[in-house]
Amino acid sequence: MSEKPRIGVFVCHCGLNIAGVIDVKKVAEEARKIPGVVFSTTYVYMCSEPGQQLVIESIKKYKLNGVVVANCSPSLHQRTFRNAAARAGLNPYRVEIANIREQVSWPHEHEPEIATRKAIRIVKATVERVKNNMAYIPYEISINKKALVIGGGIAGIQASLDIAEAGYEVYLVEKTPSIGGKMILLSETFPTLDCPQCIETPKMTDASQNPNIHLYTYSEVESVEGYVGNFKVKIRKRSPFVDWDICKGCGDCTEACPVDMINEVDRGLSTRKAIYRPFDQAVPSVFTIDKRGTPACTAACPIHLNAHGYVMATKARRYDRAWEIVRKERDFVFAASAARICTHPCEGACKRQLVDGKAVGIRDVKRFVTDWEFEKFGGPNIDLTVEKERKEKVAIIGAGPAGLQAAFDLRKKGYKVTVYEALPKGGGMLLVGIPKYRLPKDVLQKEVELVEKIGAEIKYNTKVGKDIEFKEIVDNYDAVFVAAGAHKSRSMGIPGEDLEGIYHATHFLKKINFDENVELGKKVLVVGGGNSAMDAARSALRLGADVTVVYRRSQKEMPAIPEEVHDAMEEGVKFMFLANPVEFIGNGKVEKVKLIRMELGEPDASGRRRPVPIEGSEFEMEVDNVILAIGEKPDLSFLGENSGIELTPWGTIKVDTVTFQTSNPKVFAGGDVVTGPNTFIDAVGHGKRAAISIDRMFKGEDLYKGREHEGPFKSNLVGDINRAVILPRMPENKLPVEERIKGFKEVVMTPKEDEIVAESTRCINCSGCSECRLCEEKCEPKAINHFLKDEIIEVEVGAIIVATGFDLMPMEKLPEYGGGKIPDVIDALAFERLLAASGPTAGVPRRPSDGKIPKTVVFVSCAGSRDPAHGVPYCSRICCMYLAKQAMLYKHVVHDGVAYNFYIDIRSNGKGYEEFVQRVREERDLIYLRGKVSKIFQRGDKVVVWGADTLTGQKVEIEADLVVLSNAMIPSEGTKELAQKLRIPQDEYGWFNGAHLKLRPLETVTAGIFIAGAAQFPKDITDTVSQASGAAAKVLSMFAKPKLTKDPLVANVNTEVCAGCGICKEQCAYGAITIDPKKKVSVVNEALCEGCGACAAVCPSGAMQLRNLNKKQIIRMVEVLTEDY
Amino acid sequence: MGEFEPKIVGFFCNWCTSSAADLAGTSRLQYPANVRPIRVPCSGTVDPVYLLRALREGADGVMIGGCHPGDCHYITGNLKARRRVKIVKTILESLRLPHERVLLAWISASEGAKFQRVVTDFTKRLKEMGPSDLSKKWK
């Protein structure tokens, strides 16, 4: 203000609201003493017409150039007095409010003197501010006359229709696949008993057909930028994996889908398929595939074989499709071998274990499928097409699982592959180490042959390091993959180990597997507790020996698969736990073993308890043979000296954990040479991953990019464990023991078809869709696309309406009412579905546990509502009415039924509501009990309700067939995230706040963003629809203006002072500040600037200032406010 | 002269804490009159100089009230405030000056009761600390 200040101070009494506490006369008197104040007065209601007139007259009369009104919060009347000033010819930005009501008289009601002094101080500070207020003119900004409506329930639909019918475009975004919201799920609506399907579907159809409405279902608001009139919105259109432009809505796909999911629309009272339309009247009437990510089984598999997929295809008895998934989708050479000997990490991760402790028999399913394949095609049938011949040559050392899988994958890509194998046959440890009764050799050999069939060469009987030098291979090939396994036996390091008659397990098993003669006496001792020990023991047994396994720890610590131990015991292998050999005794040939007893001490690094010898407990045992099965290690002597391949301290090859590259960039390694003795499937995984690296290397691609999820990982997806099919895991189909021990016939036989199909129903479908892709075949117009991606759609709108609705408090939050554990205690929306003709029981209420029609039903009001202990002190507003309606509808269907309704108060304050409740209360056998329910529990097949009848003072116990709870209404899921994206406030319970509870309920504090329906607070359909139209009217009144005005009180640069340092630019969240490249000063884009002042707070020179709240003004206010009262 | 009454300058953001103060008043929640409010657009508007200046001018305490992290009307203004207040407090601490006299609080528009509690507690704490001698030292 350049001219001399002439300020007027107007102190409002606000009736007694201010004057009842504060001495307003004194405030006005003190204000008059402030230099620059030329006039001050008080008035009983300054905001009234005469009050405003007083301000206008005084401005004119005293030629005021600044005004301070001391009254209520500026959020209420700042605008009133700025407008009044404008009418008097004073620039409105020269008016400021001193808030002496909300922030002085009300919170200090009992201290009038102190309150008065505080008020004077605040008025004085405000006067000092106004002295430096400048005159400004609001900016005009354009309006993008399109609206975004978030939420496709009845509120969102109504608001969209109102705006669209006025001729403006609307983007309607709905999270679920269909619009309709909660209303469409109801049976009837109170008090008129209209059917919502009849009254809402026309509106849904209108919304989908109105050319001004752009419908985005299965979509969410990703981000919102900009400001009123000019919002930029990103909408994430989630992939439905169905091309909705092509989908005809016929539903043929659902017939093919084997995946049963809980139907959320029916509140879990029915199931739907993974490909689904939420309900028959859905708009748009199209199908969506429910995909939730990678399930734990597939994630745990080192080669990510789609376990869920082939289990589901098997459930559908589509073994052809299951075979494609098992064999072809991942080019799995060893599928049939895996079906027999895989350690099935998939089953280890299977979440079915949370239901009944037993994983789904995934390996059994695979066995059934590969046996089907062998039966049908006479052997393994894999896709042998080579992509495109390429010139690069790859050598692979070792024809085991890792080497052969890599060979197959690389050959498929078109590379020339040569495998070097020391033995006369392929298969590696599967060949030499696994007995035939577990893995018949013809099965394995047929799978090995696949690698040759696709065109990789296997050079048998060629030992690297002996028949050909490693260096020669490295020099002659473009890449080398070392997968030589771990075949060197460890020794015990005790006396007598070299005696005749002592075998190492791998050596022993290899001899048997190659049908060589093994001399075996009567008494055989097997040392060790792993799978090789079991294999050796069971093989020796089959050769007619009396076999004892000695293991230094107890059975619990055995590393062998429990099934194997069980089978060994069943077949007659004896076990001696907590003992260990200390010496082998004999004259040339072993005759006796000296052993020592052990006890378990502290856990070691592996977590197992360490065995400790018991001193003096030695004993001897007579034996004919000993088989040592205490582990193997890689034999890397073939690498030769100075191979340049770096090793680990454990004698394995050191590789990069992502690429499997060794210290020589063209040499890769995988399988047991890298890990030491490990599982077959891990080795196959290494082979696949090394093949990817080699392919990338040849193509000059990044070896690391996008490979985070290549190895096994954890997935936390879990299906609905509470509603899983109850079925014990199927028994394995095994040969009888007498048959087994006669020879080496395969023990586990093909699972029976009906049993395996039943077993596959035990899957709880953690990830939704199994990607079995049976739906694709059924879809005639070819609308299904399992590879469809999410889309981001960017739209520009001028206004936003938020209508995201409500959810019900989850049952788990109500432990005293069963906490969701009692099947026949359901929430009111579930009961709506039971009453609805479109519901799971076609309108006849049947209880979930046994499907019986309930003859006694108890309705419980205020389940969680009006209960601060549950965090919901508010009333959910609609429960009294819908419970009355539900009770009436129940009585209409079940004439001989009895219904009880526990209530605290009946709240029926709407048009026709009280009359409706009275009508219901007059029904026969419909008993209203005033009182709260204290406890609900199961007794036999009844649900017992304990409550009180406060009118008679009696305790009440009712044995009911079904209990319906009116769970408290809570904001819908995702409300908080949306509030943060929109930057609009929520109340402490999460409901959206209007700018003023009474006067601006539909507007948020953020200009241009409005709220409608239950997202604001629980309300019925009538109020929701009214609010929706109200919010639409707010939008339309905005759109009716040619331009919007924007507050000019934004940041401003004094270019004389600005040095162009750019610190302010970094602080601006809106990108409103740029540096003028020529003048080297900051420039504020006033349309983008929101006026937060973050830039001014850091400006070192003081060049950047907020208009009418600059540094000088604030410091002056601080000075005044720190004066003594 | 009665009991020592600390002088507190409060910088309250328009969207959250000032609204919370309004709500406390509307709900007739009573709290000590010691806090003297300045309404600012955002807690991020507050220049650290204002805090030091208030202490120099004789305030016994300074309070900054903003929206909860993630809820800022201006996206990240409150986070900027948090950083700046931290710096001011660190400087005060390193000069062995009572950094406890500066308080930053997140009070949302719906937390009238929290506003009452924070102001009451801060006033009580400052009373226990006694009058600030910073203004005398600095003059």
Rounded to whole angstroms, how far apart are CA atoms A401 and A683? Answer: 6
> Distance (Å, rounded) from C-alpha A263 to C-alpha A275?
11
Q: What residues of chain A, 969 to 1008, have a C-beta less than 8 Å from chain B?
A: 979-980, 983, 985-988, 993, 1005-1006
Q: Which helix (H) or strand (E) holds A959?
A: strand A954-960
Q: What is the CATH number of domain A1050-1106?
A: 3.30.70.20
**Which spans in A619-729 are helix H?**
672-675, 680-699
Interface contact flag, A1069 B26, Cβ < 8 Å: no
Closest-CA residue in chain A for B36? A1121
Which of 3.50.50.60, 3.40.1190.20, 3.30.70.20, 3.20.20.70 is the CATH number of A808-969? 3.50.50.60
What the block records as the tokens of B1 is: 């002269």
pTM over 0.95: no
Give first-to-last CA distance, chain B, whole Å.
24
CATH T-level fold of A7-138: Rossmann fold (3.40.50)
Closest CA relative to residue A180, chosen from A838, A893, A884: A838
* Confidence band for A440, pLDDT divided at 50, 70 and 90: very high
CB contact under 8 A, B46 and A1122: no
Q: Is the peptide bond before A191 cis (omega within 30 degrees of 0)?
A: yes
A1117: part of which helix (H) or strand (E)? helix A1111-1121
Structure tokens at A439: 């893995």
With 80 as the cut, is the pLDDT of residue A144 above it? yes
Return the pLDDT at B139.
65
Residues sharing a CB contact under 8 Å with residue A360, sequence separation 6 or more, in sequence order: A297, A311, A347, A350, A352, A729, A759, A760, A762, A763
A1030-1061 confidence digits (pLDDT tens):
999 999 999 999 999 888 999 999 999 999 99
Share of chain A above pLDDT 70, in %: 100
Residue with tokens 């006039």: A39
- Taking only the tens place, the pLDDT of each residue in A718-739 is 999 988 888 999 998 999 999 9
Residue A1, pLDDT > 60, answer no
- Interface contact B44-A1092, CB threshold 8 A: yes
Task: Inform me whether the pLDDT recorded for A707 exceeds 70.
Answer: yes
DSSP A1003: B
Residue A470 confidence (pLDDT) = 95
A20: region left, alpha or beta (phi > 0 left; psi from -120 to 50 alpha): alpha
Using alpha carbons, select from B114, B52, B103, B24 the residue that is nearest to residue A99.
B24
- CATH number 3.30.497.10 given to A146-229+797-804+972-1039: no
Q: Is A929 left (phi over 0), alpha (psi -120 to 50) or beta?
A: beta
Q: Which residues contact A229 (CB under 8 A, 6 or more apart)?
A: A141, A142, A143, A144, A798, A799, A1008, A1038, A1044
* Cβ within 8 Å of B, A 105-124: 105-111, 114-115, 118, 121-122
Hey, what's the torsion of the CAs at A229, A234, A238, A242, to 10 degrees? 80
Show Cβ contacts of residue A427 under 8 Å, excluding neighbours closer than 6 positions.
Answer: A399, A400, A401, A404, A444, A445, A448
Mean of per-residue pLDDT scores for chain A? 95
Which tokens sit at A117?
């002094």
Place of tokens 């009770």: A887
Is the pLDDT reported for residue A358 higher than 80? yes
Q: How many Cβ atoms from other residues are within 10 Å of residue A607's Cβ?
A: 7
DSSP state of A1114: H
User: Structure tokens of A982?
Assistant: 């929109």
User: Are the CB atoms for A126 and A97 separated by under 8 Å?
Assistant: yes
Residues A456 and A477: beta-carbon distance below 8 Å? no
DSSP per-residue string spanning B6-45:
--EEEEEETTTHHHHHHHHHHTT----TTEEEEEES-GGG
Nearest-CA neighbor of A984 among A969, A998, A999, A1000?
A1000
Reading the block at residue A474, the tokens are: 């490295």
Chain B residues inside the 8 Å CB shell of A1098: 47
Least confident of A375-384, A651-660, A1064-1073, B98-107: A1064-1073
Question: Would you call A542 an interface residue with chain B, using a CB distance cutoff of 8 Å?
Answer: no
The neighbour count for residue B9, using CB atoms within 10 Å, is 26
A993-1017 mean pLDDT: 91
Distance CA B66, CA B76 (A): 11
Locus of tokens 């419909």: A926
Cα(A352)–Cα(A575) distance, integer angstroms: 32
pLDDT in tens, A844-894: 999 999 999 999 999 999 999 999 999 999 999 999 999 999 999 999 999
| CB-based contact A852:A846 (threshold 8 Å) | yes
Task: Say which residues have a Cβ less than 8 Å from residue A199's Cβ, sequence separation at least 6.
Answer: A189
Instruction: Look at residue A1004 and give its three-state secondary structure.
Output: coil
What ranges do the domains of chain B cover? 10-43+57-66+81-111+118-129
B65: left (phi over 0), alpha (psi -120 to 50) or beta: beta
Supply the angle between the helices A362-377 and A307-315 in degrees, to the nearest 10. 70
Q: Which residues make up the CATH 3.50.50.60 domain(s) of chain A?
A: 146-229+797-804+972-1039, 393-487+634-699, 496-631, 808-969
Q: For residue B1, is pLDDT > 50?
A: no
The yes-or-no verdict on residue B100 having pLDDT over 60 is yes
What one-character DSSP code corresponds to residue A432?
H
**Residue A202 pLDDT > 70, yes or no?**
yes
- Binary contact (A1094, B58; C-beta < 8 A): no
* Amino acid, res. A593: V
What's A328's DSSP letter? I
A-interface mutation test, from B12, B14, B22, most A Cβ less than 10 A away? B22
Kindly report the number of other CB atoms within 10 A of residue A820's CB atom.
Answer: 17
Q: What are phi and psi of A793, to 5 degrees?
A: -110, 130
Which of B21, B76, B108 comes nearest A103 by C-beta?
B21
Q: What percent of chain A has pLDDT over 90?
A: 91
Question: What's the half-sphere exposure (Cβ side, CA atoms, 13 Å) at A812?
Answer: 1
Closest residue, chain B, to A116 (C-alpha): B33
How high is the pLDDT of residue A2? 60
* A86 contact B CB<8A: no
- In eight-state DSSP terms, residue A990 is S
Query: CB of A929 within 8 A of CB of A947?
Result: yes
Q: Which helix (H) or strand (E) holds A345?
A: helix A345-349
Residue A909 in 3-state DSSP? coil
Architecture of the CATH domain A296-383+719-767: Orthogonal Bundle (1.10)
Whose CA is closest to A683, among A1064, A1043, A341?
A341
Contact B26 A122 (CB under 8 A): no
> In terms of DSSP bridges, do strands A806-808 and A579-587 run parallel, antiparallel, or are they unpaired?
unpaired
Q: CB-based contact (8 Å) between A1088 and chain B?
A: no
* Domain A393-487+634-699, CATH number (from 3.40.50.300, 3.50.50.60, 3.40.1030.10, 2.40.30.20): 3.50.50.60
For residue A363, report the phi and psi dihedrals to the nearest 5 degrees.
-65, -35
Q: What angle do CA B122, B125, B130 make, to 5 degrees?
A: 125
Give residue-wise pLDDT tens across range B47-63: 999 999 999 999 999 99
CA distance B110 to A994: 11
Q: Is some CB atom of chain B closer than 8 A to the CB atom of A104?
A: yes
Which pLDDT score, from 0 to 100, does residue A414 have? 97
Across the interface, whether the CB atoms of B47 and A979 are under 8 A apart is answered no
Q: Do B22 and A1091 touch (CB under 8 A)?
A: no
| Pair of tokens at residue A921 | 């209360």
- A630: helix, coil or strand? coil
Would you list the DSSP string of A1006-1039? STTEEE-GGGTS---HHHHHHHHHHHHHHHHHHH
Strand partners, A171: A148, A214
Check if the beta carbon of residue A551 is closer than 8 Å to that of residue A577.
Answer: yes
A217-237 tens-digit pLDDT: 999 999 998 889 999 999 999
CATH topology of domain A496-631: FAD/NAD(P)-binding domain (3.50.50)
Asked if A1067 reaches chain B (Cβ–Cβ under 8 Å), the answer is yes
Confidence at residue A840, expressed as pLDDT on a 0 to 100 scale: 94
Token pair of A1073, please?
């500040």
For residues A531 and A564, the answer to whether their CB atoms sit within 8 Å is: yes
d(CA A845, CA A898): 13
Give helix then strand counts, H and E, for chain A: 35, 48
pLDDT over threshold 70, residue A710: yes
Cα angle A363, A366, A372; round to 5: 145
Query: What is d(CA A816, CA A725) in angstroms, rounded to the nearest whole number?
Result: 27
Contact A289, A274 (CB under 8 A): yes
Alpha-helical regions (H) of A876-1008: 879-893, 913-921, 975-982
ipTM above 0.95, yes or no: yes
Cβ neighbours, 10 Å, residue A65 = 23
A880 residue type, one letter: C
pLDDT digits (tens, 9 = 90+) for A226-274: 889 999 999 999 999 999 999 999 999 999 999 999 999 999 999 999 9
Residue A1004 and residue A985 in contact, taking contact as beta carbons nearer than 8 Å: yes
Percent of chain B with pLDDT over 90: 83
Question: Hey, of A100, A1122, A1124, A1125, which one would you mutate to test binding to chain B, going by the most B CBs within 10 A of its CB?
Answer: A1122
Query: Greatest CA separation found in chain A?
Result: 130
* Contact between B74 and A1122 using a beta-carbon 8 Å cutoff: no
pLDDT reported for residue B71:
82
Considering only CB atoms, which chain A residues are within 8 Å of B109?
Answer: 985, 993, 1005
Collapsed DSSP state (helix, strand, coil) of residue A928: strand
The amino acid at A506: T
